[in-house]
Chains A and B, each alone.
Chain A
Amino acid sequence: MAQLVIKQRTKRFSGIGQYGTLFAILALIAVFGVTNDQFLTYANFSDIIKSVSIVSLLALGVTFSLIVGGFDLSVGSTASLATIGAASSLVLHSQELVVALLVPIALGVLVGLLNALVTIKFRLPDLLATLAIMYVINGVQLTYTKGFSIYDNMPIEGGTAPGRFIPSFLFIGQGSIGPVPFVAILMILFFAGAHLFLTYSKTGREFYYVGSNVEAARRSGIAVTRIKLYAYVLSGLFAAIGGIILASRIGTGQVSAGAPLLMDAVAAAYIGYAVFGTGRPNVVGTLIGAVLIGILLNGLTMWDVPYYAQDIVKGAILIAALGLSYIQKKQLT
């Protein structure tokens, strides 16, 4: 007799997958807390949150590109460009807060459109195309600044720069509301918004459909190219916001300031794959990944591990995260 009803159970992805990342964060906090009495202080945690907020926003951009099956490697240089854009508006052109925010945001969106153009219109492979754009953007900001940083009272032709980093701009990265750093609130708002958008809106779900099976998505009538375009624009946008916070935090427009953030952001997004054992890029996972990396780097700095040696740790984490996401992917095919 044929079996008419199929009851099927599958093995859940278990072990290090599902709650491993959360355990890792707790374990790190415990280890660093025990070995260094400065670690578990308000000042230090506020520091961690400030650096995590920047990385996490870049990682949020990467996550959007990963969800649609792309990959945005230009987020680091976009953040640098945004930093320069904000600093230039304030210091060289004495602009108000609104302009100092809109200029970098417009630049970020522009980079997103450029990425969309080369990947969607020219059909270049995402990884290599955005790598090329990364170099272009980096060159643009270096050319514009001639390689010099932009700071208050910097010497320019015929005197010093007319403008300065105004307090309202500096508040973004340095201020707090009560005991809570303002950036923490910003970060939570952006992540909550992105999560709600991706989970509860039709367009948000379409991002996942496109990334999961582009042909099936096209055949069910989803506007695949438009969704990919949105993803790259959002990626550029969030990278630019990360850049604004970075400029505000350090109070100068440093050239290539965002470059070292790329690796952290990519690693955070890939750690995010594993957080809930789903094997998919997701914003909550990305946030947790960014926190994990932030705590790790902070703790290592406290242990006097030099920043150049920290790159070894970051690379190793990325390999582990990639390996984990690969294992999960393999279970699905």
Chain B
Amino acid sequence: MLRLERVTKRYGDVTVLDDVSFTLRRGEIHGLLGLNGAGKSTLVKLLSGAITPTSGKVELDETAVTLTPAEAIRRGVITVSQEVDDALYLDLPVYENVVPWQAVKRIRPRELKQRAAAYLERVGLQIDVTEPVGRFPLSVKQRVLIARALASDAAYLLLDEPTAALSTDDAAALLTLLQSLAEEGVGILLITHRSDELSRVTTTTTFLRDGRIAYEGPFQALSEQDIHTYLSGSDMAEAVEKAVPETEIRIQADLTLPTFGTKLSFTAYKGEVVGIGGVTGSGKTELVEALFGLSGVEQQVTLDGKPLNIREPRQAVRSGFALVPEERRKQGLFLDDSIERNVLAIEGKANAITRVLASLRVKYDQVGQPVRELSGGNQQKVVLSKWLLEDRDVYLLDEPTKGVDVTAKRDIYELVTRLAKDGKTVIFTSSEPHELELVANRTLWLDRGRWQQKGGV
């Protein structure tokens, strides 16, 4: 039994998990559900020893433990993160990625290969074990990690959105594999947004909301309405009062997505919040980047009846677009520069800064402070502020609530509706159906660069 006993985790004055008790038993598949910032990844990090609780205990088989990542692995608590590449030795052969280096006394390549092949067989992989693992697709890499977990005698397997970037078939096959592992006695924690998956394989599901447990019990018993309440709560819905779109067309776009080799058309109205939904790798970022001139090819976009040729971000900015990129720290900020400099990266008036920052409720000491010192939520608000100094017609927000706390998220939702009420058009991408339902007037779903029918929670 792997257990959190009344655990609280704080970063500065932000409480990410608040007095949470949680139990993962061997042989069960335990679903974990919650919006961005609800505390899911914090919970996983606590269980896997990546971080330690501010207060409360982590227990393994009835005894309190202080886990480090290496110690967790030694005790059979294995995490398969969403970023599988971070855990793999991409340029090393598959067999060296599977057989845990700790368990080996003497290195005999032939024997290692045989052992690796045996573990891979158990996860349904028949591949050449001498190939570098980096040459295989995601679905294979994931299974290689699960095979590695089996090789280190996994008692508990923590999977962070393992199906998010898989095709439907690959995802279904993975779940079948997880079920057979659970039957062998492995305790599996499964983070996913897809309700069909949760109802198919989980014995128990825990909902996290704002760092607290909102529900724990069988997922199958829940109605659509219950799920909605446990995820976002009623107060969140009140905070977001959607604007009514106008009838004038703002954007008419025929986009080319070179990454997928597909074409996408869509229309957005003045004062409308258009939700773009889809899993990681579905093309959300590519769509937004195409509109902003980052796709490398010229895009056909009509803005307020005027045809534009957008090939570069500079042209997009001049035409009235604003982009809040998905990778905030990498693409959105000058981390070591001050708040002031970050906001003024787009020409603007210095005296307006404090007003804009205040309107977004940014918490900071002084505008000369480096952005690096701010929390994730406040950093995101700085990125947004830079586009609020002067009027933009179209706001492209790519996963704007990723990695921000609940309060900041509410502020961002509020800003989005305020912008829409001012007649701006907002393109809002997210992998969370509930979030899109909350903020968007209309949601379009993407799958590998094409529009699709809605599927998800």
Binding site for B on A (CB under 8 A): 2-12, 199-202, 204-206, 208-209, 212-213, 215-222, 278-280, 329, 331-333
> With A and B bound together, what is the CA distance between A4 and B69 in angstroms?
31
> With A and B bound together, what is the CA distance between A2 and B174 in angstroms?
9
Q: Give B84-108 interface residues, CB cut-off 8 Å to A.
A: 85-92, 96, 100-102, 104, 106-108
With A6-B140, A216-B88, A333-B134 already in contact, the answer to whether A199 and B173 are too (CB < 8 A) is no
Shortest Cβ distance from A219 into B: residue: B69
B125 and A199 form a contact (CB under 8 A)? no
A332 and B134 form a contact (CB under 8 A)? yes
With A209-B101, A331-B135 already in contact, the answer to whether A5 and B125 are too (CB < 8 A) is yes
A10 and B107 form a contact (CB under 8 A)? no
> With A and B bound together, what is the CA distance between A199 and B106 in angstroms?
10
Taking the closest CB of chain B, its distance from the CB of A138, in whole angstroms, is: 33
A10 and B88 form a contact (CB under 8 A)? no
A-B CB contact pairs (8 Å), 9 listed: A2-B172, A9-B127, A10-B128, A200-B106, A205-B101, A212-B92, A216-B88, A221-B74, A221-B102
Interface string of B62-75 (1 = CB under 8 A from A): 00000001100110
B136 within 8 A of A: yes
B9 within 8 A of A: no
A202 and B107 form a contact (CB under 8 A)? yes
A279 and B101 form a contact (CB under 8 A)? no
With A10-B135, A205-B96, A205-B101 already in contact, the answer to whether A4 and B90 are too (CB < 8 A) is no
B-chain residues with CB within 8 Å of residue A4 when the two chains form the complex: 124, 173, 176-177
A-chain residues with CB within 8 Å of residue B172 when the two chains form the complex: 2
A213 and B124 form a contact (CB under 8 A)? no
Taking the closest CB of chain B, its distance from the CB of A216, in whole angstroms, is: 5
Taking the closest CB of chain A, its distance from the CB of B77, in whole angstroms, is: 12
> With A and B bound together, what is the CA distance between A274 and B8 in angstroms?
51
A220 and B126 form a contact (CB under 8 A)? no
B139 and A6 form a contact (CB under 8 A)? yes
B422 within 8 A of A: no
- Supplied contacts A205-B107, A221-B74, A331-B134, 18 more A-B pairs, CB within 8 Å: A2-B170, A4-B173, A5-B124, A6-B125, A6-B126, A6-B139, A6-B143, A7-B127, A8-B125, A199-B109, A202-B104, A209-B92, A213-B88, A217-B89, A220-B69, A278-B132, A331-B135, A333-B134
> With A and B bound together, what is the CA distance between A29 and B446 in angstroms?
58
B365 within 8 A of A: no
B-chain residues with CB within 8 Å of residue A219 when the two chains form the complex: 69-70, 73, 87
B390 within 8 A of A: no
B92 and A208 form a contact (CB under 8 A)? yes
> With A and B bound together, what is the CA distance between A278 and B130 in angstroms?
10
> With A and B bound together, what is the CA distance between A159 and B172 in angstroms?
88
B101 and A213 form a contact (CB under 8 A)? no
A8 and B140 form a contact (CB under 8 A)? yes
B101 and A222 form a contact (CB under 8 A)? yes
Taking the closest CB of chain B, its distance from the CB of A175, in whole angstroms, is: 36
Interface string of B126-150 (1 = CB under 8 A from A): 1110011011110110010000000
With A7-B126, A205-B96 already in contact, the answer to whether A212 and B106 are too (CB < 8 A) is no
> With A and B bound together, what is the CA distance between A171 and B89 in angstroms?
44
> With A and B bound together, what is the CA distance between A226 and B91 in angstroms?
22
Taking the closest CB of chain B, its distance from the CB of A15, in whole angstroms, is: 16
B73 and A220 form a contact (CB under 8 A)? yes
B347 within 8 A of A: no
> With A and B bound together, what is the CA distance between A241 and B135 in angstroms?
38
> With A and B bound together, what is the CA distance between A60 and B219 in angstroms?
59
A200 and B127 form a contact (CB under 8 A)? no
Taking the closest CB of chain A, its distance from the CB of B146, in whole angstroms, is: 12
B-chain residues with CB within 8 Å of residue A10 when the two chains form the complex: 128, 131, 135-136
Taking the closest CB of chain B, its distance from the CB of A9, in whole angstroms, is: 7
B224 within 8 A of A: no
Q: Give B132-185 interface residues, CB cut-off 8 Å to A.
A: 132, 134-137, 139-140, 143, 169-170, 172-173, 176-177
Taking the closest CB of chain B, its distance from the CB of A215, in whole angstroms, is: 6
Of A5, A6, A202, A333, which contacts B90 at CB under 8 A? A333
Taking the closest CB of chain B, its distance from the CB of A51, in whole angstroms, is: 31
A-chain residues with CB within 8 Å of residue B69 when the two chains form the complex: 218-221
B-chain residues with CB within 8 Å of residue A218 when the two chains form the complex: 69
With A3-B169, A212-B91, A216-B87 already in contact, the answer to whether A199 and B107 are too (CB < 8 A) is yes
B90 and A8 form a contact (CB under 8 A)? no
A206 and B86 form a contact (CB under 8 A)? no
With A205-B101, A213-B89 already in contact, the answer to whether A8 and B137 are too (CB < 8 A) is yes
> With A and B bound together, what is the CA distance between A4 and B124 in angstroms?
6
B-chain residues with CB within 8 Å of residue A206 when the two chains form the complex: 101
B101 and A280 form a contact (CB under 8 A)? no
> With A and B bound together, what is the CA distance between A278 and B91 in angstroms?
8
Of B109, B136, B169, which contacts A2 at CB under 8 A? B169
Of B106, B126, B131, B169, which contacts A5 at CB under 8 A? B126
Shortest Cβ distance from B136 into A: residue: A8
> With A and B bound together, what is the CA distance between A12 and B136 in angstroms?
12
B-chain residues with CB within 8 Å of residue A217 when the two chains form the complex: 89
Taking the closest CB of chain A, its distance from the CB of B141, in whole angstroms, is: 10
A216 and B124 form a contact (CB under 8 A)? no
B-chain residues with CB within 8 Å of residue A212 when the two chains form the complex: 89-92
With A220-B73, A221-B102 already in contact, the answer to whether A280 and B91 are too (CB < 8 A) is yes
Shortest Cβ distance from A9 into B: residue: B128
Taking the closest CB of chain B, its distance from the CB of A271, in whole angstroms, is: 17
Shortest Cβ distance from B132 into A: residue: A332
